[in-house]
Amino acid sequence: MTTSLDLHRLTAALRRAAVRATLAPSVHNTQPWHFQLRPNEVSITLDATRQLRVLDPTGRQMTISCGCALFNARCSLAASGVAVNVERFPDPGRADLVARLVAGQVSDGSVDPIAALDNVIELRRTNRRQFADDAVPVELVESLQRAAAAEGGELVEIRREEDRLAVAILSQRADAIENVNPAHRAELRAWTTTDLQRPDGVPISVIPHVDGGARDELPIRDFDTSGLGALPPQTRSSHNQCLLLLGTRGDNPAAWLRAGEALERIQLEVTRQGFAVSPMTQVIEVVSTRAELRRQLRLSMAPHVLLRVGRAANTPATRRRRLVDVLSERSQDSGLESAHGRGAECVAEFPGRSET
């Protein structure tokens, strides 16, 4: 039987998991999620008001973002020693309900391997700086491939020179297609900010200044809409760097959610090993270049995210939305739902310092 102490610890563990989930990366730092605490469970729903209608009309990247949040919650519960059953898209009548984590008793049993990743959740960044020329160890790449497979994803290292060149050319083409679209540029401006206190969007503190000297073969997205990007302009993103392509066998919301879980596991593992990671998605966002990528790289999977991995100087963190805006709790006694009232306490304990 679960004791009152167990219930107290379980409630605390569930709250902690929801807060850790808010530190996940998301497309343009839109943070398109809402968390609800109930007795013995945490649910994650999509916030469609934060969908990028131009960049992400199908909601694929929004769902991947929620998958990243789901993985953070799983890491937190594993670190707390809580056994959990993950129900993905548990209600056919609610497409916005992406996951429900149903917890059991606080356990002293075996530790889930992902528990070790909980310690680096705050340290993970999207790093848009220039990467060093150091080679990425084969052992690291192989461990990332195993991590992706454990989450239902596939991680392919792009090795052949002709494949690397194809990725570079198609990425440049996709970037150019997006940049000539006025609606895309307007959406990008809306989610880029010079206000370092804004709780969402991509701040100028984490983006390279664009002056034409980047020398990128693989274009890093130009977030410098104000001309005030704070990172060095020369990024030299190269097709000769370690390039990994994450995908899934399926190409539907369920597969997108698993891709997000795999993506976050990969990024946390990269962080734990002292390396940096830079997700690049332009080539996959444009329908024509995504199809050509699959053809030229002979892919049997649906590609979702291109990752550049290497050594780089650290980059600043980005802010997170207030817990009162993303987290609600239903009381077991009253059955009433309310905005979470422990926001200040939770933020103090787990500051939102992860990046997009």
Domain architecture of the chain: domains with CATH: 4-120+318-349 (3.40.109.30), 138-310 (3.40.109.10)
Give the rounded percent of residues in the chain with a pLDDT score beyond 70: 90
Separation CA 161–CA 346 (nearest Å): 48
State the pTM of this model: 0.92
Q: How far is 255 from 262, CA to CA, in rounded Å?
A: 10
Pairwise CA distance, residues 188 & 228, whole Å: 15
Q: Which of 175, 200, 170 is nearest to 290 (CA)?
A: 170
Which residues have a Cβ under 8 Å from the Cβ of 274 and sit 6 or more positions away? 311
Question: What's the rounded Cα separation, in Å, for the pair 335 and 105?
Answer: 22
8 A C-beta contact, residue 59 and residue 251: no
Residue 157 scores a pLDDT above 60: yes
Average pLDDT on 214-218 reads 88
Could you read off the pLDDT of 251-270 as tens digits, one per residue? Answer: 999 999 999 999 999 999 99
Task: State the amino acid at position 148 in one-letter form.
Answer: A
Residue with tokens 């963190």: 317
- In 3D space, the residue among 220, 226, 221 whose CA is nearest the CA of residue 195 turns out to be 226
The pLDDT score that the predictor gives to residue 350 is: 41
How far apart CA 16 and CA 85 sit, in angstroms, is: 17
Range 92-107 average pLDDT: 87
Inter-CA distances, 140 with 144, 147, 267, Å: 6, 10, 12
Which of 7-21, 227-241, 332-346 is predicted with the least confidence, judged by mean pLDDT?
Answer: 332-346
Percent over 90 (pLDDT), the chain: 82
Report d(CA 261, CA 85) in Å as an integer.
15
Count Cβ atoms within 10 A of the Cβ of residue 173 and give its class: 0-12 exposed, 13-18 middle, 19 or more buried.
middle
Sign of CA dihedral 199, 205, 210, 216: negative
pLDDT value of residue 343: 40
